[in-house]
């Protein structure tokens, strides 16, 4: 038989192939579409959370009316509030975001982003490096808070709603709702659906835009100051290692550390807490520097994709943040931030003047 002639086929499309729109107008339309759908899911989370949060108040009110102790009612309020917040997060941040993936045409990208890194050592090195950067962000936030209190004489902190008793069930609830749930659900919503949808317009833009919304979503000044640089860290490592599991683990480690320090402070006292927090900060920064050196020389890192030629240089952030649903979300978060700063102070002032008058 005569030898078979080779068949030359065209090369396969790149892994992040996306047919470019015909003009800049369609680019901005696409960005507004992503903003509307992703912000819509987050607004649904806020709506469900607000409605469901009426339940704890009713339950605790009935308990107090029936003669229950105030401390017991407060404990019930804490448990029910965290349970409802977790339910709202599951509905808004996972179910609705999942339902929008197909509409946004990003289901495959999100699925690939949840694969394990091609070089697992990248994840291992990124964990102490990312945690160290989170600790550095926490220190920078503390500096801003100190400057505000000592120069402007205005406190940026919100009322402390943490429980007063840290028994085993309370600690378990804190770990579940502060460490595990946000690491899984928020990373899926932000570094998953939102960031993967935006990456077709440039990786740097996607990381920064997602980090900005991630910070605003926290709804108070202190957490916003902390969350924006942390969002940049989580976004970068999710792209660089090729896996969202990297950002999930960094997010989990940071939040778990907060729970452990909060518990230790309540049980050991402020002096002991300051000592252990200082030791931890120094250790995390030293390990972070060592991890940075190791991460820099490890192979397999994915470079941040530049802005495609068909995407205009200007207007991307404005189109994304200017979508109607995103504008509503931003206004809601700004209102929440202002409320967390001024409403407690106004209530305290009104109560003081009432009793003195």
Q: Is the pLDDT of residue 288 over 50?
A: yes
156, 341 Cβ separation under 8 angstroms? yes
Q: Is the pLDDT of residue 321 over 60?
A: yes
Cα–Cα separations (whole angstroms), residue 315 to 25, 201, 202, 215, 321: 11, 11, 13, 21, 10
- Return the higher-pLDDT residue of 343 and 318: 318
Q: What is the mean pLDDT of the chain?
A: 82
% of the chain at pLDDT higher than 70: 75
Q: Compute the distance between CA of residue 118 and CA of residue 245 in angstroms, rounded to an integer.
A: 12
Q: In the prediction, which pLDDT does 201 show?
A: 93
Q: Which two tokens stand for residue 21?
A: 């729109």
| 66-70, 72-76, 94-98 — most confident range | 94-98
Q: In the prediction, which pLDDT does 52 show?
A: 66
Mean pLDDT of the 191-208 span: 96
Q: Compute the distance between CA of residue 245 and CA of residue 256 in angstroms, rounded to an integer.
A: 16
Q: In the prediction, which pLDDT does 5 show?
A: 56
Q: Is the pLDDT of residue 93 over 80?
A: no
Per-residue pLDDT tens over the stretch 9-51: 555 545 554 555 557 778 889 999 999 999 998 988 877 766 6
Q: Which two tokens stand for residue 178?
A: 């502060």
Backbone angles phi, psi at 117, to 5 degrees: -60, 145
264, 115 Cβ separation under 8 angstroms? no
- C-alpha radius of gyration, the chain, whole number: 23
Per-residue pLDDT tens over the stretch 226-279: 999 999 999 999 999 999 999 999 999 999 999 998 888 878 878 888 899 899
Q: In the prediction, which pLDDT does 292 show?
A: 97
Q: Give Cα 132 distance to the centre of its chain.
A: 17
Q: Compute the distance between CA of residue 192 and CA of residue 97 in angstroms, rounded to an integer.
A: 9
Q: In the prediction, which pLDDT does 219 show?
A: 80
- Which DSSP helix (H) or strand (E) runs through 52? helix 24-52
Per-residue pLDDT tens over the stretch 94-148: 888 888 898 898 999 999 999 989 899 999 999 999 999 999 999 999 999 888 8
Of the candidates 113, 136, 117, 184, the one whose C-alpha atom is nearest the C-alpha of residue 292 is 136
What is the CB neighbour count within 10 angstroms for residue 31? 27
Per-residue pLDDT tens over the stretch 156-186: 776 665 666 677 777 888 888 889 989 999 9
DSSP 8-state code for residue 315: S
Cα–Cα separations (whole angstroms), residue 300 to 11, 118, 285: 23, 7, 24
193, 100 Cβ separation under 8 angstroms? yes
Q: Give Cα 347 distance to the centre of its chain.
A: 30
191, 208 Cβ separation under 8 angstroms? no
pTM (whole model) above 0.95: no
């Amino acid at each position: 038989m005569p030898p078979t002639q080779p068949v030359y086929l065209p090369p396969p499309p790149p892994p992040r192939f996306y047919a470019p729109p015909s003009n800049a107008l369609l680019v901005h339309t696409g960005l507004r579409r992503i903003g509307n759908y992703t912000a819509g899911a987050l607004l649904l989370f806020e709506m469900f959370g607000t409605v469901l949060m009426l339940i704890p108040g009713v339950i605790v009110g009935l308990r107090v009316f029936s003669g229950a102790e105030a401390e017991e009612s407060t404990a019930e309020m804490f448990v029910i509030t965290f349970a409802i917040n977790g339910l709202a997060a599951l509905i808004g941040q996972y179910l609705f975001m999942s339902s929008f993936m197909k509409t946004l045409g990003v289901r495959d990208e999100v699925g690939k982003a949840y694969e394990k890194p091609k070089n697992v050592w990248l994840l291992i090195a990124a964990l102490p490096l990312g945690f160290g950067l989170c600790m550095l962000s926490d220190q920078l936030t503390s500096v801003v808070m100190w400057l505000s209190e000592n120069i402007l004489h205005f406190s940026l902190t919100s009322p402390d709603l943490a429980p007063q008793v840290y028994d085993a069930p309370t600690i378990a609830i804190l770990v579940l709702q502060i460490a595990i749930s946000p690491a899984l659900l928020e990373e899926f919503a932000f570094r998953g659906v939102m960031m993967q949808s935006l990456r077709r317009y440039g990786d740097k833009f996607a990381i920064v835009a997602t980090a900005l919304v991630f910070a605003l979503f926290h709804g108070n000044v202190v957490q916003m100051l902390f969350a924006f640089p942390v969002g940049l860290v989580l976004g970068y490592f999710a792209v660089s290692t090729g896996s969202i599991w990297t950002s999930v683990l960094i997010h989990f480690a940071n939040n778990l550390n907060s729970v452990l320090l909060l518990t230790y402070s309540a049980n050991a006292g402020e002096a002991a807490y300051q000592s252990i927090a200082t030791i931890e900060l120094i250790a995390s920064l030293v390990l972070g520097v060592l991890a940075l050196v190791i991460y820099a020389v490890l192979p397999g890192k994915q470079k941040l994709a530049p802005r495609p030629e068909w995407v205009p240089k200007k207007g991307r952030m404005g189109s994304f943040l200017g979508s109607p649903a995103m504008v509503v979300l931003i206004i809601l978060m700004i209102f929440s931030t202002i409320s967390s700063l001024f409403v407690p102070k106004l209530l305290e002032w009104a109560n003081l003047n009432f009793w003195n008058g």
